[in-house]
């Protein structure tokens, strides 16, 4: 094996040593119980753009760079960002390498996924979770990026962020939450804007506290049974979806129920189910399905939070302590998600 080959394996975490040895404190004690907060962003910082899932092209990157530079940030592209392998942005090892390299690159202060699609689940065994934990930094995206956010939160014990990808619509609403949470380090209260298009529908009233965990429902469901999911105990679960018939949403929630996940959570938020249809057959409404699954849990829950495949979206920190109010549809952060 050449030195170059060994360096690649170490970077990608393909060896047992790189992936599975727990980190130790100076006193020799395990330190994985401490959840790390990545450093906050500052104007002038460099962020890395990666394509860990679906294909992107040069026009996507050009548009993404314009959006990111509006925030006062510089951009560095992943080594394999324009590669193609079927419907994926390169082979699994290459996409994993870009993730690992961005975390190890000290000039990079945050990592923004270009887009979702499919493919992140395939690279989970190739990520170097010890390396990632030793170089904590902001990782943000949504849709298929849910996989990376949950796996890194679980295996590296680091706060990650469900929010815009680089090709999202970076409007004032989206940029406001991004800047307040990731630049200013504020513990914000997320509340829908006053619009008739996005309204809160209460499933069950009340308040609850817990660690905020979740993401895209179909992606999360595909991870059930894997070793890449965080603890659900007394957590606040949020999900969102796009383009699924209601019976499929029912099927995925049933999977979370039979896997024992729903019975552990302290609160539930369904963001947006964008373009979710009743289908051609007789059907329940989405609210009927949500009530069937969630009301028996006797926990606060609502539908309609501004999370998901929509233009106006929150930046949602995964792993921070929050208090939710289902009556108002609010998510109140009880701590900053980034370090000074």
> For the chain, which ranges sit under pLDDT 70?
1-32, 195-197, 282
Q: By C-alpha distance, which of 194, 201, 229, 202 is closest to 215? A: 229
DSSP 287-322: HHHHHHHHGGGT--EEE--S-SSSSS---EEET-EE
Residue of 162, 241, 309, 336 with catalytic role: 309
**Range 3-19+35-170 has CATH code 3.40.50.10740:** yes
DSSP 81-109: TT--BTTBSS-HHHHHHHHHHHHH-TTEE
Residue of 67, 235, 240, 293 with catalytic role: 240
Residue of 143, 221, 305, 336 with catalytic role: 143
User: Do 40 and 315 contact (CB within 8 A), yes or no?
Assistant: no
Q: By C-alpha distance, which of 223, 8, 19, 231 is closest to 122? A: 223
143 catalytic per annotation: yes
pLDDT recorded at residue 32: 56
User: Do 108 and 140 contact (CB within 8 A), yes or no?
Assistant: no
User: Do 114 and 90 contact (CB within 8 A), yes or no?
Assistant: no
DSSP 160: E
Separation in Å, CA 11 to CA 57, 93, 94, 149, 153: 26, 11, 11, 19, 19
| Helix (H) or strand (E) run with residue 190 in it | strand 189-190
pLDDT digits (tens, 9 = 90+) for 186-203: 999 999 987 666 789 999
CATH 3.50.30.60 domain position(s) in the chain: 189-333
CATH 3.40.50.10740 domain position(s) in the chain: 3-19+35-170
Separation in Å, CA 193 to CA 171, 268, 332: 13, 20, 15
Q: Which fold has domain 189-333?
A: Glucose Oxidase; domain 1 (3.50.30)
Percent helix, percent strand, percent coil in the chain, to nearest 5: 35, 25, 45
pLDDT recorded at residue 280: 74
pLDDT recorded at residue 116: 97
Q: Cβ contacts of residue 15 below 8 Å, gap of 6+?
A: 9
* 102-105-111-116 Cα dihedral, nearest 10 degrees: -10
pLDDT recorded at residue 17: 34
Q: Residues of the chain with pLDDT > 90: what percent? A: 86
pLDDT digits (tens, 9 = 90+) for 105-146: 999 999 999 999 999 999 999 999 999 999 999 999 999 999
User: Do 171 and 311 contact (CB within 8 A), yes or no?
Assistant: yes
Q: Mapping DSSP to helix (H, G, I), strand (E, B) and coil, where does residue 266 land?
A: coil
Separation in Å, CA 140 to CA 16, 111, 162, 259, 263: 27, 6, 6, 27, 28
């Amino acid at each position: 094996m050449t030195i170059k080959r060994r360096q690649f394996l170490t970077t990608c975490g393909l060896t047992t040593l790189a992936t599975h040895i727990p980190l130790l404190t100076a006193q020799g004690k395990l330190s994985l119980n401490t959840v790390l907060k990545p450093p906050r962003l500052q104007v002038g910082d460099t962020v890395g753009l990666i394509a860990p899932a679906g294909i992107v092209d040069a026009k996507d990157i050009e548009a993404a760079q314009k959006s990111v530079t509006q925030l006062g940030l510089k951009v560095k592209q992943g080594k394999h960002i324009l590669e193609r392998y079927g419907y994926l942005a390169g082979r699994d090892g290459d996409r994993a390498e870009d993730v690992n390299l961005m975390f190890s690159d000290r000039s990079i202060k945050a990592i923004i996924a270009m887009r979702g699609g499919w493919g992140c689940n395939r690279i989970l065994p190739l990520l170097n979770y010890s390396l990632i934990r030793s170089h904590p930094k902001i990782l943000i995206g949504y849709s298929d990026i849910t996989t990376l956010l949950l796996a890194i939160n679980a295996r590296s014990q680091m706060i990650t962020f469900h929010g815009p990808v680089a090709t999202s619509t970076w409007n004032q609403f989206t940029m406001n939450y991004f800047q307040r949470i990731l630049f200013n380090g504020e513990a914000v209260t997320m509340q829908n804007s006053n619009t008739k298009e996005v309204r809160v529908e209460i499933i069950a009233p009340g308040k609850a506290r817990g660690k905020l965990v979740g993401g895209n429902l179909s992606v999360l469901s595909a991870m059930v049974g894997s070793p890449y999911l965080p603890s659900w105990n007394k957590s606040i679960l949020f999900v969102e979806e796009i383009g699924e018939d209601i019976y499929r949403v029912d099927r995925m929630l049933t999977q979370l129920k039979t896997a024992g996940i729903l019975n552990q959570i302290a609160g539930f938020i369904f963001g947006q189910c964008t373009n979710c249809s009743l289908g051609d057959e007789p059907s329940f409404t989405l609210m009927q399905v949500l009530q069937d699954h969630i009301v028996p849990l006797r926990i606060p829950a609502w539908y309609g939070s501004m999370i998901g495949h929509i233009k106006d979206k929150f930046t949602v920190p995964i792993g921070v302590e929050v208090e939710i109010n289902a009556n108002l549809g609010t998510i109140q952060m009880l701590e900053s998600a980034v370090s000074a």
